[in-house]
Amino acid sequence: MFEQSIYTSRDAACKQPYGAVPAGQAVSFSVYPAREVFLRGVTLYISEDGKEPTAYPMHWGGLRGDCDRYCTTFTPETPGLYWYYFAVEDRHGARKYICRGAAGVGYESDTVQDLYQLTVFDGSYAVADWFGRGITYNIFPDRFCRTEVPPKEGYRAHREVHDNWNDLPVYQPDAHGEILNNDFFGGSLKGVLSKLDYLASLHVQTIYFNPIFEAYSNHRYDTGNYKNIDPMMGTEEDFKELCAEAKKRGMRVILDGVFSHNGYDSVYFNARGHYDSVGAFQSQESPYYEWYDFSHWPDQYSSWWGIYTLPQVNELNPKYLDYIIEDEDSVIRRWLRLGASGWRLDVADELPDEFIAKLNAAARREKPDALVVGEVWEDASNKISYSVRRRYFQGGELDSVMNYPLRDGVMSFLGGSPAEDFAEKMECLRENYPRAVFYNLMNIIGTHDTPRALTVMGAKPEDWSGSRDHRARARLIGEDLIAARRKMYLAAVIQFTMPGSPTIYYGDEAGLQGFEDPFNRRTYPWGNEDGSLLDFYRKLCAVRTQSSALTDGEIAFRKAEGGLLIYERWDAQEHLYIVINRDDEAVVRLPCHAAEDLLDDQTRVDTDTDDLVLRIPACSARILRVTE
């Protein structure tokens, strides 16, 4: 029936406003069939998630070129996820459907499929947008910095303590086939305190800590006591001092909350008897017994991903809710009161929506601008977890999520996938997320759960398939390292110029390498940093901090073809072009007379035409500020 698409969701002529909308906001829809088709009628069908669609007949609204315009408006009254499509009927009564294709371009179908998404949020909820405006530094506490070799004794459980800061983490299983994760290097709060000026040199505004609370393991995701700093990390007074000193430098601190499970060796479960408490493993009369789901007490219970050392909790148990969220001295409120500014929620898609909403409300009661970030690996706007559609951005849930789609897109692009795929992945998020959330994302290219970015850029296929011993000792050197570093530059430029908070995983800026856990958790190489990479990051951090356009400006992709990616960022103060060239040298023409390259402080002017013509070397990037 139609030779070309009659609707594109990202085109203002078809849908206004762009993307997600607040409840109560009227949304206008227009479709443009060719006039020669002679339609009998066009209908918009739209439904709230899980409900039957409602029909909205579209009326004729005039002509655009050789196309008719059919239009209507829809006003969603409540926050939620809505789905829509169009039905068109020709003069003979034959019906076709316009469904969502790539890039929001509608395609004709005989059946209803591939629905368009409309995200509707509570416009009265104010996202804690201070986060997205600044640079974040992610610290894995045991491995960032220590001021001394910690004592080898005096802990609730045995700990292997490394005298040598540069040792490899223990990675082989013990005699029983278990990797205990009980080797420690002694990174501490005082160590972080001693490096605040270093973080300031990177213009860091938020320090995000992986767990700092008492635990058996060095990763501390098996919480032993939510209300105690791990003794190797320091004390509550150390934490307060760190937050106070960070604040003097314009930095905030956010903590990792692990609330879907805690430790087998904890004050709450106490399976090893290391605590004075009566844990759920020890007695059904324990005050913590109702926190857990035992199928056969005490040895059979629900655990996170079947790992026996991580017993799962019933998050909506009233006693657990009081302890973590509701009480005046709850975990959430206590650490905010002591100086933290927000929480990152581990495995947020395994926490009930009601739990997250209650946590957010309690955090806001303690600090009105408290931040709540969720660990979600996919598009969080339409996430389904355990067969349930999740509510993250409708108002009062999450202020941000970890932007794994950005990481995946960057790694794929630099690994050879076309720039079109990266641009489309980002545009999908921009269309589906509320603007305030999209500009508040935790933009990552590495975390404690992923191989080091530099290793991903340069490791050969045989390195990934080699033995664990091989991966433990594998290092990029020579030309391989040079090539990987060039790609790292490109990854960092993308990370720092997309909306959201560019988040540095400790040591990435210094050239740390490593495959999977624990090789991605090596100690920071103080005194042995990759100087050229660190200098580049310092320059990039300065550019990001000093640019209003990169902080909150608009974004538009202008070219995404093969290995070439060009996008704009602009606001009332400045206009930038970001040019990423993954492949061979490219000639780029930009619609301006002159521009300053913020990465090397050179001004390039084309004297022959009204456009700026640049030769962009292979595997290089430019951040160009238009100067006239």
- Examine the residue annotation and report whether 245 is marked as an active-site residue of this protein: no
- Provide the whole-model pTM: 0.97
CB 230 within 8 A of CB 220: yes
Q: How many CA atoms lie within 13 A of 6 on its CB side?
A: 30
**Res 475 pLDDT > 70:** yes
pLDDT tier for residue 110 given thresholds of 50, 70 and 90: very high
Instruction: Please list the alpha-helical segments (H only) found in 21-133.
Output: none
Q: What phi and psi, each to the nearest 5 degrees, are found at residue 362?
A: -65, -40
- Examine the residue annotation and report whether 431 is marked as an active-site residue of this protein: no
CATH architecture of 553-626: Sandwich (2.60)
CATH of 15-121, one of 3.40.50.300, 3.90.1150.10, 1.10.8.60, 2.60.40.10: 2.60.40.10
User: How far is the CA of 503 from the CAs of 142, 212, 391, 443, 509, in angstroms?
Assistant: 19, 19, 24, 6, 11
| pLDDT above 90: percentage of residues in the chain | 94
**Which residue among 346, 349, 508, 568 is the active-site one?**
346
Domains 15-121 and 131-260+315-403+502-546 agree in fold: no
**Res 3 pLDDT > 70:** no
**Res 42 pLDDT > 70:** yes
**Res 2 pLDDT > 70:** no
Pairing mode, strands 183-184 and 160-161? parallel
- Classify domain 131-260+315-403+502-546 at the CATH topology level: TIM Barrel (3.20.20)
Q: Where are the domains of the chain?
A: 15-121, 131-260+315-403+502-546, 263-313, 553-626
Query: How does 350-372 read in b/e, with b if 16+ C-beta sit within 10 Å?
Result: bbbbebbbbbbebbbebeebbbb
Q: What is the mean pLDDT of the chain?
A: 96
| pLDDT above 70: percentage of residues in the chain | 98
User: How far is the CA of 30 from the CAs of 5, 12, 329, 422, 472, in angstroms?
Assistant: 12, 9, 53, 28, 57
| Calpha distance 371→363 (Å, rounded) | 8
Q: What phi and psi, each to the nearest 5 degrees, are found at residue 186?
A: 95, 20
Calculate mean pLDDT across residues 128-150. Answer: 98
Instruction: Please list the alpha-helical segments (H only) found in 298-444.
Output: 318-321, 331-337, 353-366, 404-414, 419-432, 435-438
For the segment 295-313, what is each residue's pLDDT rounded down to a tens digit? 999 999 999 999 999 999 9
pLDDT at 610: 77
**Res 422 pLDDT > 70:** yes
pLDDT at 628: 78
**Which residue among 265, 375, 427, 508 is the active-site one?**
375
- Size of the chain, expressed as the number of residues it contains: 628
Supply 358's token pair.
Answer: 């209650």
Helix, strand, coil shares, percent, the chain, to 5: 25, 30, 45
